Amino acid sequence: ATQISQVVKDCSSITPPYAALLQKLDHVRKVLDRPLTLAEKILYSHIIDPEASLSGGGRIRGEAYLQLQPERVAMQDASAQMALLQFMSAGLAQTAVPSSIHCDHLIQAAEGAESDLKRSIVTNQEVFDFLESAARKYGIEFWRPGSGIIHQIVLENYAAPGMLMLGTDSHTPNAGGLGMFAIGVGGADAVDAMTGTPWELKAPNVIGIHLTGKLNGWATTKDLILYLAGKLTVRGGTGSILEYFGTGVEEQSCTGLATIANMGAEVGATTSTFPYSSNMHAYLQATGRSPVAAAADVAAAKGFLSADKGAEYDDVIEINLSELEPTVNGPFTPDLATPISQFGKFVQQQGWKDEFSAALIGSCTNSSYEDMTKVADLARQAKEAGLTTKVPFLCTPGSEQIRATIERDNVTSTLESVGAVVLANACGPCIGQWRRTDKKGKENAILTSFNRNFKSRNDGNSQTMNFLASPTIVTAMAFSGKLSFNPQTDSLNLPSGKPFKFAPPSGQDLPSAGFTQGDRTYYPEPSPKPEPEMEIVIKSDSQRLELLEPFSSHFGPSNSRGLELPSLKVLLRVRGKCTTDHISAAGPWLKYKGHLTNISENLLITAINDEGGEMNVAFDRDNNTTGTIPEIAKQFKAREQPWALIVDDNYGEGSAREHAALQPRFYGCAMILARSFARIHETNLKKQGVLPLWFVDKADYSKIGSGDVLETIGLADAFEGKPNASIKVKVTKLDGVTFEIPTRHTMSVDQLKWLRAGSALNHIRSTKI
């Protein structure tokens, strides 16, 4: 194995263009003439024409739409399929910015790394072949199955302070740990960057998180973000960047900051940012990117990589790290935070059994060298005392580099000696590729160091309660098997009858002997040249991949309402929480990510119909039939009846899964009327030509039901650019009663062009070819 510390990586394509960014920043300063937050510096220095975007004199944050130029794109294997299918339809010879594909989501977790990887490659061969052929054709770096999880690989190879990257995965902000401005988007946004089309973002607000004090004992950066999730809730970061500052930032390791940035997605934040630190410098050096570190040092000295003195935040949250205690979040939502000292009582109050069925560590959120050496310290303590884990204990390394380095440094053997099973370097249990049958329908709990815990996510069982905690808490609790165990205060009984208490874990943020790269056959050729003659591999009878047919415009000749949407039937009023997992479930459906017809069979199958309260039930009022939601949607499609959805608050929270927008559109959805939307999903709807409208009065939600007819009034004015054009919706109830309700929209001028063309892609194609 080669030690990365001795390898000089080619840093030409990964060093941010600091000189150009600083020049742009000067321009921004002249226009705004006020102290800037770090987030504003990075984001606004990527605006294509700062004058046009910023000089209107009005409020920027939360108001202005920015036309941005990202410098890189990263895609995971599940979302890359649709992104590439879309990119192909744009007809270009290569991507406009360096891009990478990471094969991680499709790898199962059943027996152990080697056999799981082999089996998953066979099962998904045609998808990997398609991705590799597209990567070669368009000059994209292809990280093979087994290379690791997208966010860990980006952190190790591509992230750089002050750079702007889009990733087709909601935990893309993980790269914020290294000062990168990394945003999770849908494939259609990635296509913008890959086609060189300006990428549009509504300027987010900036929430300052002021860190003081010092983490101590068992508390980690994971506990900081778990605590913050409890404070902000899953909606608290929506439309905002979380910008951390204060004395508490400097001492955190780069990978520890990455954990915080990763889970900013759980509060809906656009991304998270930290000022450049000596630990970021050290991590860049340790991962073979000294030239990037040197360039970042210079940019930081010129004031680019930290906030200006006096910069104002939209809100400031104070956190004293010295007061933080380990926290356990869940079940079923990442913002239900309970300090570990209260957790046993909480479990008892809920009447849950004081046990759990598995402990899982690793994933993109928590598989750093620091995390793994800390858990190995606990394993060593337990082993010396003669203990082994009481429940299955599974470990997912984030990358081949981490796997190889912890194996070399005897971390793996220490974990295995107490019962750990090391899984493939991939998402595995985090994305539902795990024990899909053994716990079916049985209530049980699991403890994980992952980031997300919606129902059914890990094993397809809606009765599995996933509690999120730091890897050290998960590991210590695995030796007890009880949810009520608090390793800070409680002891375990040894076979001798003596009590055993863990000492707080200690670890090392970077390996003394440097990182080792492991098996280099997983790695791509750096900066590959496009191979135009390469044929893209899609079998004609494929059930996994399907070429995309462009969506037709809603405003074609058959629409008698001109530039208003055609009359729409309401398919369903969705009750309560409806995440992208509810709209387009993962797990076994992942295999159809590249086949829109097949994956659409899962549309909203776990959504609750507010008329009756049942899951996956819809009514076709025209012929008095009841069916599953996909069945009724298909009936509407078959009779060319465009339709609408009525949805609750924060619709589409959770992930950047663009299928959650593509699938309704595929069946004929033209409009979604919501109490509120999650940002990424709202943009995805716009990209696919679905009009997202917000209720002005949230109580209007209950006034509309299935079978009602909706007609927009005022959309034509918006298309025609009339100032202050507002959109109303005329509702015709089943009994013929009509009324109008006011709505609001967030469509920019360009987004209205997408809607008019039928999709953003239709619009891009008409302008590029």
The helix or strand, by DSSP H or E, that contains position 630, with its residue range, turns out to be helix 629-638
Scanning 139-277, the segments in alpha helix (DSSP H) are 150-157, 187-195, 221-232, 247-250, 254-262
Q: Are 473 and 481 in contact (CB under 8 A)?
A: no
Q: Are 130 and 151 in contact (CB under 8 A)?
A: no
Assign residue 153 a region: left if phi > 0, alpha if psi is -120 to 50, beta otherwise? alpha
Residue 532 three-state SS = coil
Assign residue 564 a region: left if phi > 0, alpha if psi is -120 to 50, beta otherwise? beta
Given the residues 61, 116, 144, 169, select the one marked as catalytic: 169
Q: How far is the CB of 172 from ligand F3S (least distance, A)?
A: 9
Q: How far is the CB of 395 from ligand F3S (least distance, A)?
A: 13
Q: How far is the CB of 151 from ligand F3S (least distance, A)?
A: 6
Residue 171 lies near ligand F3S (rule: CB under 6 A): yes
> Of 424-432, 616-624, 630-638, 756-764, which part binds ligand F3S (CB under 6 A)?
424-432
Q: How far is the CB of 194 from ligand F3S (least distance, A)?
A: 20
Total residues binding ligand F3S (CB under 6 A): 14
Q: How far is the CB of 149 from ligand F3S (least distance, A)?
A: 5
Compute the distance between CA of residue 482 and CA of residue 203 in angstroms, rounded to an integer: 46
Residue 286 lies near ligand F3S (rule: CB under 6 A): no
Q: How far is the CB of 117 from ligand F3S (least distance, A)?
A: 15
Q: How far is the CB of 323 from ligand F3S (least distance, A)?
A: 28
Residue 131 lies near ligand F3S (rule: CB under 6 A): no
What residues pair up with 316 in beta bridges, in sequence order?
Answer: 208
Query: CB under 8 Å to 706, separation ≥6 — which residues?
Result: 570, 571, 572, 573, 609, 611, 618, 619, 621
* Class of residue 221 by CB neighbours under 10 A (exposed 0-12, middle 13-18, buried 19+): buried
Of 171 and 686, nearer to ligand F3S (C-beta) is 171
Query: Any idea what DSSP says for residue 705?
Result: -
Of 428 and 642, nearer to ligand F3S (C-beta) is 428
- Amino acid in the structure at residue 715: L
Query: CB under 8 Å to 692, separation ≥6 — which residues?
Result: 671, 672, 674, 677, 682, 685, 686, 745, 746
Length of the chain equals 769
Query: CB under 8 Å to 675, separation ≥6 — which residues?
Result: 647, 648, 649, 651, 694, 695, 698, 701
665 is catalytic: no
104 is catalytic: yes
Residue 427 lies near ligand F3S (rule: CB under 6 A): yes
Q: Are 692 and 665 in contact (CB under 8 A)?
A: no
Q: Are 730 and 710 in contact (CB under 8 A)?
A: yes
Compute the distance between CA of residue 134 and CA of residue 87 in angstroms, rounded to an integer: 10
Among 333, 451, 516, 602, binds ligand F3S (CB under 6 A): 451
Scanning 61-149, the segments in alpha helix (DSSP H) are 77-89, 113-123, 125-138
Residue 759 lies near ligand F3S (rule: CB under 6 A): no
Among 40, 169, 335, 409, binds ligand F3S (CB under 6 A): 169
Structure tokens at 56: 């209107």
> Of 399-407, 423-431, 619-627, 684-692, which part binds ligand F3S (CB under 6 A)?
423-431
List binders of ligand F3S among 478-497 (CB under 6 A): none
Residue 363 lies near ligand F3S (rule: CB under 6 A): yes
- Amino acid in the structure at residue 8: V
List binders of ligand F3S among 92-121 (CB under 6 A): 104-105
Among 151, 222, 577, 593, binds ligand F3S (CB under 6 A): 151
Of 106 and 328, nearer to ligand F3S (C-beta) is 106
Residue 659 lies near ligand F3S (rule: CB under 6 A): no
Q: Are 37 and 307 in contact (CB under 8 A)?
A: yes
Of 423 and 431, nearer to ligand F3S (C-beta) is 431
Of 397 and 566, nearer to ligand F3S (C-beta) is 397
Among 149, 415, 752, 757, binds ligand F3S (CB under 6 A): 149
Given the residues 449, 600, 655, 759, select the one marked as catalytic: 655
Query: CB under 8 Å to 91, separation ≥6 — which residues?
Result: 765, 768, 769
Given the residues 403, 452, 595, 763, select the one marked as catalytic: 452
Given the residues 29, 61, 72, 105, select the one marked as catalytic: 105
Q: How far is the CB of 307 from ligand F3S (least distance, A)?
A: 29
List binders of ligand F3S among 619-648 (CB under 6 A): none
Compute the distance between CA of residue 238 and CA of residue 241 in angstroms, rounded to an integer: 8
Residue 202 lies near ligand F3S (rule: CB under 6 A): no
Query: Any idea what DSSP says for residue 764?
Result: H
3-state per-residue secondary structure call for 369-396:
HHHHHHHHHHHHHHHHCCCCCCCCEEEE
Among 68, 75, 249, 364, binds ligand F3S (CB under 6 A): 364
Of 425 and 606, nearer to ligand F3S (C-beta) is 425
210 is catalytic: no
Instruction: List, as one string, the DSSP characters of 278-294.
Output: HHHHHHHHHTT-HHHHH
> Of 149-157, 413-421, 501-509, 620-628, which part binds ligand F3S (CB under 6 A)?
149-157
Q: How far is the CB of 587 from ligand F3S (least distance, A)?
A: 11
Of 200 and 581, nearer to ligand F3S (C-beta) is 581
Compute the distance between CA of residue 399 and CA of residue 146 in angstroms, rounded to an integer: 8
Q: How far is the CB of 498 from ligand F3S (least distance, A)?
A: 39
Q: How far is the CB of 529 from ligand F3S (least distance, A)?
A: 28
Given the residues 657, 681, 745, 763, select the one marked as catalytic: 657
Residue 403 lies near ligand F3S (rule: CB under 6 A): no
> Of 109-117, 145-153, 343-351, 460-468, which part binds ligand F3S (CB under 6 A)?
145-153
Residue 430 lies near ligand F3S (rule: CB under 6 A): yes
Structure tokens at 554: 């809603």
> Of 20-28, 144-152, 194-202, 297-305, which part binds ligand F3S (CB under 6 A)?
144-152
Among 229, 382, 406, 431, binds ligand F3S (CB under 6 A): 431
Among 80, 150, 572, 618, binds ligand F3S (CB under 6 A): 150
Cα 29 to chain centroid distance, Å, stands at 32
Residue 118 three-state SS = helix
Of 187 and 248, nearer to ligand F3S (C-beta) is 187
Compute the distance between CA of residue 368 and CA of residue 402 in angstroms, rounded to an integer: 7
- Amino acid in the structure at residue 741: I
Structure tokens at 738: 């009509």
Site string for ligand F3S, 12-51 (x = CB under 6 A): ----------------------------------------
Structure tokens at 428: 């595995």
What residues pair up with 740 in beta bridges, in sequence order?
Answer: 730
Q: How far is the CB of 681 from ligand F3S (least distance, A)?
A: 17
Residue whose token pair is 């997912």: 396
Query: CB under 8 Å to 495, separation ≥6 — which residues?
Result: 386
Q: How far is the CB of 234 from ligand F3S (least distance, A)?
A: 15
* Class of residue 350 by CB neighbours under 10 A (exposed 0-12, middle 13-18, buried 19+): exposed
The binding site for ligand F3S (CB under 6 A) comprises 104-105, 149-151, 169, 171, 363-364, 427, 430-431, 451-452
* Residues annotated as part of the active site: 104-105, 169, 452, 655, 657
